[in-house]
Amino acid sequence: MVNLESFHAKRAAIIYNPVARKVSRTRHLLQRTIEALARQGIEANLVGTTAPGTAGAQARRLIDAGSDLIIAAGGDGTIHEVAEGMLHSSVPLAILPGGTANVLASEMRLPAQFETAAERISKLKPCRIAMGRLRLNESRPRPFLCMAGAGLDAAIICRLNLDLKAVMGKLAYYAAGFSHIWRPLTEFEVIVDDRRFEASFALISRVRNYGGDLEIARGASLLRNDFEVVLFRGTQSIRYLPYLAAVALGQVARLKGVTVLRGRSVVCRQPKSGEDVYVQADGELAGRLSMTAEIVPDALTLLVPPEFLAREQALISVPACA
């Protein structure tokens, strides 16, 4: 059991995806992070994932083998996998951002460079946080760290050109989004803690940051034990242009057609028409409705900057983390 009151890592494992383009191009920087950690008294090893979906199992094995800190180096997909394998472990997770959007890193305002982020590891504070748990139809439940979405944003991810993403980064998401402007959308039933709504896009979020550039769920916090749920109505994609402008201005909650509320359980049902409505979790396509999302309290120990912790505690008036 890791003592969070006096935590200082001694043995760390850095899990990374060796075939991710951005990470593979900067592998020399990953090597330099080992030196940066050594200067802080942390012995670290690089551990490449062996196949898609293996990072969680690798994290569990590394913890069993004696690692007292797991570091996920990469984008939101890699971080999601690693965190899934660490669910309910007291061993902390730290982040070295290296992906396209890096929602979690942006939320905590971590440095974008591997080496700079690694140099701050020993200054970060362990904090127990909740996670979301997503179940699609009758499938096995899966946790998520930052957000899940049903409807428009998942449809955009479904149509995302991965080759274009590798070249253009986040611009590829905007390209996929604008390709939807004239497409009809399907509304579906959303139940938030027994309250019923209709939406063509339901965002179920633990973070304010969305995609690294925008804030949609402006009242969400990793330190809360609930979701902020933002529901958008409309069957025509072009209606989302004023929604997007309002998000950019921080005024989305004032728009007609938008509902913002908090909840611990969210159900999104397949529309009666039988049309497919896609679901994403932490920026990765997860499947199709129907969907249930629930809060899992006390799920993960995350290393966070002390200034982030102070800012969140001041905003939402919660007790200090361990």
Domain with CATH 3.40.50.10330 in the chain: 4-123
| Lowest-pLDDT choice from 73-82, 120-129, 302-311 | 73-82
Who has greater pLDDT, 1 or 181? 181
What are the CA-CA distances from residue 136 to residues 131, 133, 200 (Å)? 17, 10, 17
Do 187 and 77 form a contact (C-beta atoms < 8 A)? Answer: no
Average pLDDT over the chain reads 88
| pLDDT confidence band for 241 (50 / 70 / 90) | confident
CATH number given to 133-296: 2.60.200.40
Task: Compute CA 96 distance to the chain's CA centroid, rounded to the nearest angstrom.
Answer: 14
Average confidence (pLDDT) over 33-55: 94
Neighbour count for residue 75 (Cβ, 10 Å): 24
| pLDDT confidence band for 138 (50 / 70 / 90) | confident
Domain with CATH 2.60.200.40 in the chain: 133-296
Alpha-carbon gap, residue 189 to 98, rounded angstroms: 36
pLDDT of residue 106: 92
Average confidence (pLDDT) over 193-220: 93
Average confidence (pLDDT) over 277-291: 94
Q: DSSP string spanning 251-305?
A: -GGGSTTEEEEEESEEEEPPPTT----EEEETTEEEEES-EEEEEEEEEEEEEE-
Enter the tokens of residue 304.
């966070």
pLDDT of residue 1: 45
Global pTM reads: 0.90
Residues shown for the chain: 322
| pLDDT confidence band for 139 (50 / 70 / 90) | confident
pLDDT of residue 279: 97
CATH topology of domain 4-123: Rossmann fold (3.40.50)
| pLDDT confidence band for 315 (50 / 70 / 90) | confident
Alpha-carbon gap, residue 229 to 263, rounded angstroms: 7
| pLDDT confidence band for 260 (50 / 70 / 90) | very high
Do 231 and 253 form a contact (C-beta atoms < 8 A)? Answer: no
Closest CA to 149 of 230, 254, 214: 230
Alpha-carbon gap, residue 243 to 232, rounded angstroms: 8
Alpha helix (H) ranges present in the chain?
21-25, 27-38, 55-64, 76-85, 103-108, 114-119, 152-158, 162-168, 171-178, 240-249, 306-316
Work out the percent of the chain whose per-residue pLDDT is above 70.
Answer: 85
